[in-house]
Amino acid sequence: MVTTFKGYAALNKGEKLQSWQYEPKPLGRNDIEIKVTHNGLCHTDLHMRDDDWNVSTFPLVAGHEVVGEITKLGEDVTNLQIGDRVGVGWISNSCRRCDACLRGEENICRQGYTGLIVGNYGGFADKLRVNADFTYKLPDALDSASAAPLLCAGITVYSPLRTYIKHPGSRVGVIGIGGLGHLAIKFARSMGAEVTAFSTSPSKETEAKEFGAHHFCNWNDAETGDYDLLLYTGSAEIDWTKALGLLGNDGVFCLVGLPVSTLNIPLLALVFGQKKIAGSAVGGRRFMTEMLEFAAINQIKPMVETMPITQINEAMDKVAANQARYRIVLLSE
Ligand SMILES: [Zn+2]
Ligand SMILES: [Zn+2]
């Protein structure tokens, strides 16, 4: 008997998603099958639909902030059980042998990791098959709708904050208050940092402070500062003279997005201030496990809007128009 999954696929590049049935890959010895209940919607799903990075294969079933319940176990899976509530994020496999993988930093695997929806079907479906080692059992204190966005947006900001916040009282600036930025404010505050939210929308001040920011600053008015870490979550081009002027000596400016493909940096401020410009993308198994635990203990939850998965195209339009406040979670029927 042929197994059939029911999903939502872009049949061709840039097309709206439509109902689509497909035969999943066979359940491997180390795989699990989950019944999907929730999907966080990430901007990357739109990039994949539109093949912006030339890695998409069609029909494309996107979805990489997946929460569900285990319904099948591969014969070698011993650490999970049928019925477990689990989450799956962007990384679905890696070499497991390089120094980075052995540290649990599969996001910088020297062989390159496998992206969940690169050459494989993702979470916008009734079921998902995935390697058990990149599946995370969710703490009871995290509800599924809150957990979903943590699996990509959450880990994306947690990794650099965890890496670069060295001590309580560190001065951290979060630039851009959206899906990533609002979570960054919450995590940085819980890690003991003194947090400033930067935005070009003054109307976000009240919310930023509710998320935990001590200070709010209009990016257009920002001049100089003494920040230990500036986390850039925006998509607009960066004024590097301003950025480096805000950064204190020995500070780190970290990008978690790709506003442009090249940088034009004033080197005098960089070199004499011993400043650093860094990049960061998602996170490995070590920080993923830790982040979920940290979020559960500190009750760090994204602000989400839920929509039924039948409205997936409307949800994608909303994300494209920057109207999600601050993350959309799609509920399965
Ligand atoms: Zn994502
Ligand atoms: Zn590796």
Ligand closest to the CA atom of residue 47: 1
Shortest-distance ligand to the CA of residue 109: 2
Which structure tokens are listed for 282? 């998602």
Proximal ligand: closest to the CA of 285: 2
Which CATH number applies to 5-137+303-331: 3.90.180.10, 3.40.50.2000, 1.10.357.10, 3.40.630.30?
3.90.180.10
Per-residue pLDDT, 264: 87
Q: Residue 245 Cα, ligand 1 centroid: separation in angstroms?
A: 30
279: Cβ contacts below 8 Å, ≥ 6 apart: 254, 255, 256
Separation between Cα atoms, residue 117 and residue 126, nearest integer Å: 15
For the chain, the structural domain boundaries read 5-137+303-331, 155-279
Structure tokens at 169: 């009282």
Calculate how far, in angstroms, residue 43's C-alpha sits from the geometric centre of ligand 1: 6
List 239's β-bridge partners, or say none.
none
Q: Output the pLDDT for position 141.
A: 97
**Distance in angstroms (rounded) separating the CA atoms of residues 116 and 302:** 22
* C-alpha 178 to ligand 1 mean position (Å): 13
Q: Where are the beta strands (DSSP E) in the chain?
A: 5-9, 18-22, 31-41, 66-73, 85-88, 91-93, 114-115, 127-131, 135-137, 171-175, 194-199, 215-218, 227-232, 247-255, 276-279, 304-308, 327-331
Fold annotation for 155-279: Rossmann fold (3.40.50)
Note the ligand closest to the C-alpha atom of 112: 2
Which ligand is nearest to the Cα of residue 64, counting in written order? 1
Q: How far is the CA of 132 from the centre of ligand 2 (A)?
A: 17
Find the ligand nearest to 180 CA.
1
CB 231 within 8 A of CB 256: yes
Question: How high is the pLDDT of residue 235?
Answer: 84
**One digit per residue, pLDDT tens: the chain, 333 residues?**
789 999 999 999 999 999 999 999 999 999 999 999 999 999 999 999 999 999 999 999 999 999 999 999 999 999 999 999 999 999 999 999 999 999 999 999 999 999 999 999 999 999 999 999 999 999 999 999 999 999 999 999 999 999 999 999 999 999 999 999 999 999 999 999 999 999 999 999 999 999 999 999 999 999 999 999 999 998 888 999 999 999 999 999 999 987 777 888 999 999 999 999 999 999 999 999 999 999 999 999 999 999 999 999 999 999 999 999 999 999 998
How many whole angstroms from 1 Cα to the centroid of ligand 1? Answer: 34
Task: Supply φ then ψ for residue 276, to 5 degrees.
Answer: -130, 140
